[in-house]
Amino acid sequence: MPRVVIASSDALELTGGVAEFDVEADTVARMIRELDGRYPGLGEEIERRMAVAINGEIHQDAWMEALPDDAEIVLIPKIGGG
């Protein structure tokens, strides 16, 4: 089962401080839906303000990226720039 780690203080406010989760999801999109179901508003926070790293590799537009059963997903704040 994929493991999700949140590395954002803003997102942790939505989860009551819980930073690690196991999810039953095989894509990033399903993971986001599952987390939003547990913690309303977290899905939008992830979509708008967070980058997704799967097993140490950051993915852009990761919605359809597959999540292996042993994946570690780290949600990190996006870095702004211009």
Confidence (pTM): 0.90
Query: Domain residues of the chain, as ranges?
Result: 3-77
- For residue 82, the model assigns a pLDDT of 54
Could you give the residue ranges of the DSSP H alpha helices within 1-82? 9-15, 28-38, 42-49
| Cα dihedral value 49, 55, 57, 62, nearest 10 | -50
For 2-61, write each residue's pLDDT tens digit. Answer: 999 999 999 999 999 999 999 999 999 999 999 999 999 999 999 999 999 999 999 878
Domain 3-77: CATH architecture, name and number where available: Roll (3.10)
